[in-house]
Amino acid sequence: MKDEIITGNVRVMETQTEKRIVVNHRYTYITLLDLKIGDEVIVPSPSWLSDVNPTWTATVTKLTSDYDGYCLRVISKIQK
């Protein structure tokens, strides 16, 4: 994803890098958000729980993940 930054008369395209984070010491999600350990985020529930509750609140416990399988995206960061 790219954001356009305009400084004076110069237009710069800044690229944001997707990163994989771990929440609750167990689950990996993809995000473009600027997060730190301890942040609370809203994430989609697994498919088998989405009928009961489509989202849940989790805590960021690691800022990287070696998991290379399919991941859902973080929906939002909870502002405190």
Residue 10 domain flag:
no
What is the per-residue pLDDT for 47?
81
- pLDDT tens digit string along 23-35? 999 999 999 999 9
Tell me if 23 is assigned to some domain: yes
> In which residue ranges of the chain is pLDDT below 50?
1
Is residue 6 one of the residues assigned to a domain? no
Count structural domains, the chain: 1
Find the domain containing 72 and state its range: 18-77
Q: pTM for the full model?
A: 0.78
pLDDT value at position 51?
85
In a domain, 56, yes or no: yes
**Average pLDDT score over the chain:** 87
CA 43 to each of CA 5, 7, 31, 38, 47: distance values in angstroms, whole numbers, following the listed order: 29, 34, 10, 15, 12
What is the pLDDT, as a whole number, of residue 52?
86
Are the CB atoms for 38 and 48 separated by under 8 Å?
A: no
